[in-house]
Amino acid sequence: MLFNSLTFVLHFSLFYIIYFYSTFTIRKTILIIFGLYFYSQWGIEGTLLLILSIIFNFLIGILIDSNVSKLRKRIFVFGIVANVLYLGVFKYFLFVWGIFSDLQVEFGGQSPLWKPNLLLPIGISFYTFHNISYLIEVYDNRIKVCKNFFTFVLYDLFFPLLLLGPIERPGNLIPQFESERFISKEKIWNGLSLFCFGVFIKSSIADPLSRYVGTMANSFDSLEPGILWIVAPSIAFQVYADFFGYSLCAMGLAEMLGFELMNNFKRPFFSSNPSEFWSKWHISLSTWLRDYVYIKLGGNRHGFFRENSNLLLVWFLTGIWHGAGYGFIIWGLYLGICLILYRILKHLGFTQFQNPFLKVLGILFTFYSFSLGLLLFRINSPSESLIIIKNLQHIPHPSFVPYSLIFIILPLVLFDVWQEWKGTERPSFFVNEKPYVFGFLFVIGFCWFSIVSPFAKEDFFYFQF
């Protein structure tokens, strides 16, 4: 039941009518029931695992709060280790098993090792990080422990962010569940506009780009020389439109329900350096890793070398978080090295330029360094990275440029330019300030959607993570 499907729209419409006319005490129950129903569409087994994870982390939080001294720390460590192992078993066990199987064949084994069939619950990376941040915040006394079990259940089962985030902080989300939310006409229209635009850029931009990328990047050794200079930006816009589209849908649905989620993207392709880029892309993940890993490792408090070593470790973990595969690990290390190189140049004073031309060059360099890195998502072995490098040694022929795709991404580019010009902190169509402008844009968007969008719907890109 994808956000960009008629099935979801019909189910949500019925749910929303009941929710809107219910009292505050009943709304929480309705949200939990719909969250369970929504998540169960991807399998009962995964739903049972999620419920067990919720119960476990709720009890660990209570135990941390009710104990002192060494026992409290041991309970906390046990809770964190259990969550990491939970994520590791279901998401990374088969990858590690595959490595041992490859080594066994490499060193003379007759056949690969038997491969167990393990379930990979959808959204497991997001809700596990959700729970880890809750335990850390409780242990560090930044928030009060949640003693209401149903509030904590809703913290993990809030369906707008259940599958792909953003990875909300408990200090922001739990208090919203504990206080009555007033749903104004403005919130309904703002939320609806964000949801519609999220579906629009997913179906009209991300999906067509996904089909182009799928035909071009499945076999790197059969591609025309230099064409990856064109494929890489296509992947970048595909991932951006896909994940940004989901985030807008999540924000819009939450606002219609009376809640406010954090903004996960802030026009990252306008960034002129890697550091700025990662403060604007997947903000909930980058700030999570900063606060709970990088700072916990010492951050920048122990010298320049230790600071960059911590960064590289964080980016190695970022790669692993995105998926179990060689490409994800290499991708994480690649981005970590890019960021460290920039920080070294900044440390040496080579980045203090205010020239507009150099800023534009910085934007192009940052965009392409990110885009080329996304090619690593699609490699199946480290040797394929050499094929990518060989392809990039050539200049693509102008006939390779898919001009129709440039036309397709135009609405997203114009939206980001508009938001950058307005200086918005959160994406907005200013529905209440300029209703006629919004109405005009909605009609144009609907026509565009009707022309470009296919009938077949594709999964969101980050479902695989």
CB-based contact 366:277 (threshold 8 Å): yes
**pLDDT at residue 384, rounded to an integer:** 74
Q: Taking a C-beta distance cutoff of 8 angstroms, is the pair 230, 401 a contact?
A: yes
Encoded tokens for 119: 């379930």
- Burial letters 202-236, b for 16+ CB under 10 A, else e: bbbbbbbbbebbeebbeebeebeeebbbbbbbbbb
Q: How confident is the model at residue 438 (pLDDT cuts 50, 70, 90)?
A: low
Whether residue 130 sits in one domain with residue 30: yes
**Residue at which a domain ends, from 180, 208, 229:** 180
118 and 256 belong to one structural domain? no
Q: Please name the residues in contact with 200: beta carbons below 8 A apart, sequence gap of 6 or more.
A: 245, 411, 445, 448, 449
Active site residue 397: no
Rounded Cα distance between 170 and 175, Å, is 8
Mean residue pLDDT of the chain comes to 84
> For residue 307, is it within any domain?
no
Q: What is the tens place of the pLDDT at every residue in 217-267?
A: 666 677 788 888 988 999 999 999 999 999 999 999 999 999 999 999 999
User: Within a domain: residue 50?
Assistant: yes
Query: In this structure, how many other beta carbons lie within 10 angstroms of the beta carbon of residue 20?
Result: 13
Whether 320 is in a domain gets the answer: no
Among 150, 180, 210, identify where a domain stops: 180
Residue corresponding to tokens 């067990």: 52
Contacting residues for 416 by C-beta, under 8 A, at least 6 apart: 267, 269, 270
Measured between alpha carbons, how far is residue 260 from residues 161, 163, 174, 251, 263 in Å? 11, 17, 11, 7, 9
H runs (alpha helix) in 217-355: 228-256, 274-277, 283-289, 304-322, 326-347
Q: Is residue 131, in this structure, part of any structural domain at all?
A: yes
Residue showing tokens 């040797």: 383
Domain contains 111: yes
Q: Tell me the C-alpha to C-alpha distance, in Å, between residue 247 and each of 161, 164, 181, 329, 419.
A: 8, 8, 21, 25, 16
249, 230 contact by CB (below 8 A): no
Q: What is the pLDDT of residues 168-224, one digit of tens each?
A: 999 999 999 998 888 988 889 889 889 989 988 988 899 888 888 887 766 667 778
Residues 132 and 10 both lie in one domain: yes
SS3 298: coil
**Per mean pLDDT, which range of 36-40, 133-137, 453-457 is the poorest?**
453-457
> How many domains are contained in the chain?
2
If asked whether residues 78 and 141 sit together in one domain, one would say yes
pLDDT in tens, 118-147: 677 888 888 999 999 999 999 999 999 999
Question: Is the pLDDT reported for residue 36 higher than 90?
Answer: yes
pLDDT of residue 170: 92
280 within domain boundaries: no
**Domain coverage including residue 412:** 186-273+351-464
pLDDT tens digit sequence for 341-380: 888 888 777 766 667 778 888 899 999 999 998 888 777 6
Tokens 């920039």 belong to: 342
- For 72-102, the DSSP string reads HHHHHHHHHHHHHHHHHHHHHHHHHHHHHHH
Question: Among residues 322, 347, 394, 397, which one is catalytic?
Answer: 322
Least confident piece of the model among 292-306, 393-407, 409-423, 440-454: 440-454
Cβ burial 328-348 (10 Å sphere, 16+ → b, else e): bbbbbbbbbebbbebbeeeee
Shared domain for 146 and 108, answered yes or no, is: yes
> Is 394 in the same domain as 414?
yes
Same-domain pairing of 138 and 204? no
In terms of domains, do 173 and 198 share one?
A: no
Same domain, 28 and 159: yes
* CA atoms of 162 and 283, how far apart (whole Å): 17
310 domain residue, yes or no: no
**Nearest-angstrom CA–CA distance, 131 and 142:** 15
Per-residue pLDDT at 456: 53
Residues 6+ apart with CB under 8 A from 116: 93, 94, 97
- Are 170 and 192 in the same domain? no
The pLDDT of residue 450 is: 57
Q: What pTM was estimated for this model as a whole?
A: 0.88
Residue 426 lies in a domain: yes
Contact 79, 57 (CB under 8 A): yes
Residues 153 and 51 in one domain: yes
Examine the domain organization and report whether 459 and 364 are in the same domain: yes
